[in-house]
Amino acid sequence: MKEGKVRHEYNYFGVERTNISDASPLSAGKQTIKYEFIPAAAKPGTDGKCMLFVDGKQVAEGHIPKTVTFIFSEDEGTNFRLDAESSVSGDYKQEDNKFTGTIVKVTTDVSPPKLNAADQKAPDDAAELAVD
């Protein structure tokens, strides 16, 4: 959230950032907020489309040119209400970014997108290459 607006920032190692945001602040009351990433291909590091929804209505869309492949710090992860490790965004200070609203429920769906047979094989091939 920034200035009352739903926002997503993808931080590619601090080198490249993708930001999308609703143009309007949220109204008071309960809303359902959804973020979706659709990869362009079934391979590590792929680009893709990112979207934000509020109560089922798409409010923002962008393009993430590349994504992190396989490597994440074991102490970083998905944070809610407070980003206690390295800041994802330069818009707030580390340890001074607590969300003061109410979060009723968080659901994470990591099921793979529907892919054709060739695209389904691509991640397996990439994993084999990473091990070799």
What tens-digit pLDDT sequence spans the chain (132 residues)? 888 899 999 988 888 999 999 999 999 889 999 999 999 988 888 999 999 999 999 999 999 999 988 766 655 666 666 676 667 777 877 777 777 788 888 888 877 666 666 666 655 555 454 444
Question: Is there a contact between 33 and 57 (Cβ–Cβ < 8 Å)?
Answer: no
3-state secondary structure (DSSP) of residue 120: helix
Does residue 25 lie within any of the structural domains?
Answer: yes
Does residue 1 lie within any of the structural domains?
Answer: no
* 45-65: pLDDT as tens digits: 899 999 999 999 999 999 999
Give me the number of domains the chain comprises: 1
Which residues lie below 8 Å from residue 47, measured CB to CB, with a gap of 6+? 39, 40, 63, 64, 65, 66, 67
Does residue 2 lie within any of the structural domains?
Answer: no
Q: What is the pLDDT of residue 14?
A: 82
Full domain range(s) for residue 79: 7-131
Q: Which of 101, 85, 108, 104 is nearest to 1 (CA)?
A: 101
